[in-house]
Amino acid sequence: MRIAPIAVFFADSPDELRAQGERSARLTHAHPLAVDAAIVQAAAVAAALRGEGILAAARAAAKRSVLRRQLDRAAALLGSDLGPAEVGELLGNSAIGHESVPTAIFAVASHGGFEQAVSFAVRCGGDTDTVGAMAGALAGAACGRAAIPARWLDALENGPRGRRYVELLADAMAVAAAGR
C-alpha cells in the first residue's frame, strides 16, 4: 500500500523499480508473495505514470504464478457486468497482497475516472482501506491530481501533518523524481 513513491522515483527504470520495490517491501513483508504483490503494484503505478496499460505492466512484473493467475482473471473480467462484491469475491479483497492488488488494478483498468475507480474498489468489500488506497494510487497516477474530487480533498483534516503537509511532500517528491 505504501509502494507508490518507489514507482514515482523509478518509473523509467524497471530494474531499479524492482530492486527498490523489493527493498522497501521487505521492511515489513517476509513472504515472497507479499513482496511480489508490492512490486506488481509499483509496476502498475509506474505504467500509469507513463500512460501505459497497468494490467499488462502488472502481469509482466509478477513473478509468482498465483499472482499472475489472479491478474489473468482480472483481465478476463474486463468488460463484464459484475458488481464490486462479486469482483472482490473473485479477485480478493483481503489485506494479503495477492488477494487485493489484482482487485485494485481491476478497479482502475475497468473504470475511466478517479472517483469511479476508487469508489468501485472500496465497494469490493473486505479490507477496503487497503484496496481503496492502492486503487487511489493507481488512479491518481493515471488521471492526475486534478481528477480527485474537490469534496474529497476538502473533507481532509489540515493539521500539522494533514492535507497541506502531504501536498508539500508530494510536490517535493515530484521535483526530486524529475531531477533524478
Q: Domain check: are 119 and 72 in the same one? A: yes
CB 40 within 8 A of CB 61: yes
Q: Domain check: are 16 and 52 in the same one? A: yes
Q: Domain check: are 96 and 174 in the same one? A: no
Q: What is the pLDDT of residue 112?
A: 84
Give the number of domains in the chain: 2
CA distance 17 to 72: 22
Read off the DSSP letter of residue 180.
-
* pLDDT tens profile 5-34: 999 999 999 999 999 999 999 999 999 999
Q: What is the pLDDT of residue 179?
A: 84
Q: Domain check: are 165 and 87 in the same one? A: no
Q: Domain check: are 46 and 62 in the same one? A: yes
Find the domain containing 178 and state its range: 150-180
Secondary structure (3-state) at 113: coil
Q: Domain check: are 139 and 160 in the same one? A: no
